[in-house]
Amino acid sequence: MQTSDQIKEMVKEQYGSIADQSRSVNASGCCGSGCGCSPTDEAIMAEDYSKLEGYVADADLGLGCGIPTEFALIKEGDTVLDLGSGAGNDCFVARSLTGASGTVIGVDFTEKMIKKARANAAKLGYENVEFRHGDIENLPVASQTVDVVVSNCVLNLVPDKTGAISEMHRVIKTGGHFSVSDIVLDGELPENLRKAAQMYVGCISGAMQKTAYLDLLERTGFSHIRVQKEKAIDLPASLLQEYLSEDEVNAYRASGQKILSVTVYGEKKAQKNEETADKTEADTCCGPQCCAN
């Protein structure tokens, strides 16, 4: 079994290569990984951003599995954080919603992606969009400073998902929220698919079960969690045959197991200790036991 550090190095190396590829090549693979699959005319997971305000073609590498900014309820003046910001695609769409009075921060683990995103921002002349090199498990962002977190097909790549989601909770302001697109599973994948390193980089074998994913978000402290959009990902036979025998492919097709792209929303509500922190001594001691002479 690979260690956390080995997985991170694999992801960094692969996505460093992806930074130099075109959108058409990336989108034809699973989550842009290439995955050893043959190029197709249709994206397996990536969605079409081209009609959205703020879209920048040079920033769209076709690496996503949804459009979280479409559901993120971003308002003018908000501070928005994009986890795994790549070349800046979701950041620039978010900036069109926050306006010049807002702030957009992208964090990515891959130096080449940060360089590409910063170059894209410089071309646009945006002074309120910045890109920080960092690990999602240890975000370079201060606590309680973000109104909205978005992320697109990234959390499934992180070895310590509990740590990453806890960090997301830490940086969001009380009353803030997230909208995250990701890959989840409904049923167990065949072992050979789960073990394949390329498939991990392609967002599939590192994915959690849908129910466990939603439970983890709730256990971390988020509330009002709901699935905003869900679609099944149909892997082409040419891709499955890279990792499975013909009998295994047929068994997988017949099993009813699903790979799903989901966009999930959740809010950070005040905890009980926060709700009572401002109460005065008089508020908390007015009963006969503590106030009587």
Q: Which tens digit of pLDDT belongs to each residue from 50-103?
A: 999 999 999 998 888 999 999 999 999 999 999 999 999 999 999 999 999 999
Quickly state the pLDDT bin for 148 (edges 50, 70, 90): very high
- Identify the CATH assignment for 4-273 out of 3.40.50.1820, 3.40.50.150, 3.40.640.10, 3.40.50.300: 3.40.50.150
Q: Which tens digit of pLDDT belongs to each residue from 103-125?
A: 999 999 999 999 999 999 999 99
Which of the 8 DSSP states describes residue 174? E
Q: Is the dihedral of CA 120, 122, 126, 132 positive or negative?
A: positive
Which of the 8 DSSP states describes residue 270? P
Q: Which tens digit of pLDDT belongs to each residue from 247-283?
A: 988 998 898 889 899 999 999 988 765 444 443 333 4
- H helices present in the chain, as ranges: 4-18, 23-27, 89-98, 111-124, 161-171, 191-195, 197-201, 210-219, 237-240, 246-255, 272-276, 281-284, 288-291
pLDDT of residue 25: 47
pLDDT of residue 99: 97
- The residue type found at 237 is A
> Of 284 and 164, which is predicted with more confidence?
164
Please check the confidence at residue 288 and state whether its pLDDT lies above 90. no
Q: Could you tell me the residue ranges of all domains in the chain? A: 4-273
What does the mean pLDDT of the chain come to? 83
Contact 168, 177 (CB under 8 A): no
All residues at 6 or more sequence positions from 164 whose CB lies less than 8 Å from its CB, including other chains: 83, 136, 137, 155, 158
In the chain, what percentage of residues exceed pLDDT 70? 77
Query: What is the C-alpha separation between 228 and 65, in angstroms, rounded?
Result: 13
Quickly state the pLDDT bin for 223 (edges 50, 70, 90): very high
> Of 152 and 279, which is predicted with more confidence?
152
Contact 65, 181 (CB under 8 A): yes
pTM of the model: 0.82
In the chain, what percentage of residues exceed pLDDT 90? 57
Closest CA to 83 of 163, 182, 158, 151: 151
pLDDT of residue 37: 35
pLDDT of residue 188: 86
How many Cβ atoms from other residues are within 10 Å of residue 178's Cβ?
25
Closest CA to 158 of 140, 176, 134: 134
